[in-house]
Structure 1
Amino acid sequence: MASSLVRPSNGRMIGGVCAGLARRFGMSASTMRLIFVVSCLLPGPQILIYLALWIVMPSER
């Protein structure tokens, strides 16, 4: 069973969004960060989505 969608208190680089998504979907944080960086090369609102998730995702206690 996957864990809930939270920003972890350790293993963060900037806001912990990629680390939280990686944990939720059972991937490594490095892979999720690579996917995010590559997706930023494509047109779209990736940065805005990251900022929105940073605000919406609760921080792990």
Structure 2
Amino acid sequence: MADELTLTRFLLAVMLGTLFAIVYSMRKLIILERYIARIEGHIEKLSKYILKEERFIKRKIK
């Protein structure tokens, strides 16, 4: 009986540890996704600025 209880506690601890690891990994992935989205936003702003400058230069050349 005691062995079954110990095994049950051990399995419960393993399952909880796995669950916590999954939650922690999901949290890190969400933070990383937000960081990448912010970088993409900066790249988009920069590319719009470069396109605007290129159009300005082309108008000045003509």
Q: Which has the higher contact order (CA 8 A, sep 6+)?
A: 1
TM-score, length-normalised on structure 2?
A: 0.25
TM-score, length-normalised on structure 1?
A: 0.25
Kindly indicate which of the two structures has a greater share of residues assigned to helix: 2
